[in-house]
Amino acid sequence: MPIIVNLDVMMAKRKMSLNELSDKVGLTLSNLSILKTGKAKAIRFSTLESICKVLACQPGDIIAYVPEGTKILYP
Amino acid sequence: MKPRTNEVVFSLLHVLSWIFFIGLCIEAGVLIFNFLFTFFNPIASHNIYKGLDLSNIYENQFPHYIGLMGFVVVLAVLKAYIFYLVVQICLKLNLVKPFDCKIAKLIEKLSFEAMAIAVLSFIAHLYTEHFIPDGFEVSDVENYWDDGAAFLMMAAILLVISHVFRRGIALQNENDLTV
């Protein structure tokens, strides 16, 4: 899917663990894991709002559009 | 309907489907046994099951007797199998999360089974009408396949339900993967 989730990148930047994020956002660990691994089919605005609030970031920092076939080079 | 009422109705249906399944199994078993028994004891063809008398056709047109009884037995077995599938659905259905691939497959199977019964009933009806020579009393045996139209309607409804169910599974999966 061309939409990728960069939640793990933002979590690493904020030095936040999945458990901590789960507690602060109010999402279950399994749901957060679904989102982090890119298995999620949809994300509610309310969830996105909570994550952005906790991680102090913009929605674009968490999800991004990458055209298919593009190689992603992580630093 | 309230969830509690739903559960009660569902339990009732479960018990009823077991009763029907056991009853139809007994009927199919008795028909098979009596059919085989008539090979060794022709007198049994006077009353095969619940007054079904095919003695005349047994004595004069033995291949047609086998054909007729074949239809009767196969239809009885298929009807028992339909209720076996209903019992399976009742066992596997989870009312909280009803949309499951296994249930969809069972409903689809049920639909095809009902269709098979309808087609077989129609063929059996044609067989008795056109192939049994005149003068043989076959009205008793017609009772075993006079419900073909009902099964055809049931098959069509179940097919629609199975398609709706598949859509329900897709929606439930999407809902499960929405965070």
From A33, which residue of chain B is nearest by alpha-carbon distance? B179
Tell me whether B178 touches chain A (CB under 8 Å). Answer: yes
B73 against B55, higher pLDDT: B73
> How far away is chain A from the Cα of B175, in angstroms, using its nearest Cα?
8
| Pick from B31, B109, B142: nearest CA to B76 | B31
- % of chain B exceeding 90 in pLDDT: 53
Range of B122's domain?
3-177
Instruction: Look at residue A2 in the predicted model and tell me its pLDDT.
Output: 84
Instruction: Look at residue B109 in the predicted model and tell me its pLDDT.
Output: 94
Model pLDDT for residues A21-61, shown as the tens digit of each residue: 999 988 899 989 999 888 888 999 999 999 999 999 999 99
Q: What is the mean pLDDT of chain B?
A: 89
Instruction: Look at residue B1 in the predicted model and tell me its pLDDT.
Output: 61
- Band of the pLDDT at B112, cuts 50, 70, 90? very high
Cβ neighbours of residue A22 under 8 Å, at least 6 residues apart?
Answer: A28, A29, A32
A13 is written with which tokens? Answer: 């930047």
From A28, which residue of chain B is nearest by alpha-carbon distance? B179
From A39, which residue of chain B is nearest by alpha-carbon distance? B177
Tell me whether B174 touches chain A (CB under 8 Å). Answer: yes
Contact B58/B42 with Cβ under 8 angstroms?
Answer: yes
Tell me whether A50 touches chain B (CB under 8 Å). Answer: no
B-facing residues of A in 30-49 (CB < 8 A) are 31-32, 34-35, 39-44, 47
Residue with tokens 């028992």: B80
Residue B47 has pLDDT above 60, yes or no: yes
B132 against A36, higher pLDDT: A36
- Band of the pLDDT at A73, cuts 50, 70, 90? low
Taking one residue from A and the other from B, the number of pairs with CB-CB distance under 8 angstroms is 23
Contact A11/A51 with Cβ under 8 angstroms?
Answer: no
- Band of the pLDDT at B42, cuts 50, 70, 90? confident
Instruction: Look at residue B19 in the predicted model and tell me its pLDDT.
Output: 96
| Pick from B111, B120, B97, B116: nearest CA to B169 | B97
DSSP-derived secondary structure for B21-61 = HHHHHHHHHHHHHHHHHHHH-GGGGGSSSTT---HHHHHH-
- Band of the pLDDT at B111, cuts 50, 70, 90? very high
Tell me whether B177 touches chain A (CB under 8 Å). Answer: yes
From A34, which residue of chain B is nearest by alpha-carbon distance? B177
Instruction: Look at residue A72 in the predicted model and tell me its pLDDT.
Output: 64
> How far away is chain A from the Cα of B95, in angstroms, using its nearest Cα?
23
Mean pLDDT for B35-52 is 88
Measured between beta carbons, the chain A residues lying within 8 angstroms of B173 are 41
B71 against B7, higher pLDDT: B71
Count the residues in chain A: 75
Measured between beta carbons, the chain B residues lying within 8 angstroms of A47 are 179
d(CA B134, CA B26): 33
Instruction: Look at residue A75 in the predicted model and tell me its pLDDT.
Output: 56
Overall pTM > 0.80: no
Model pLDDT for residues B61-88, shown as the tens digit of each residue: 888 889 999 999 999 999 999 999 999 9
Q: How many domains are contained in chain B?
A: 1
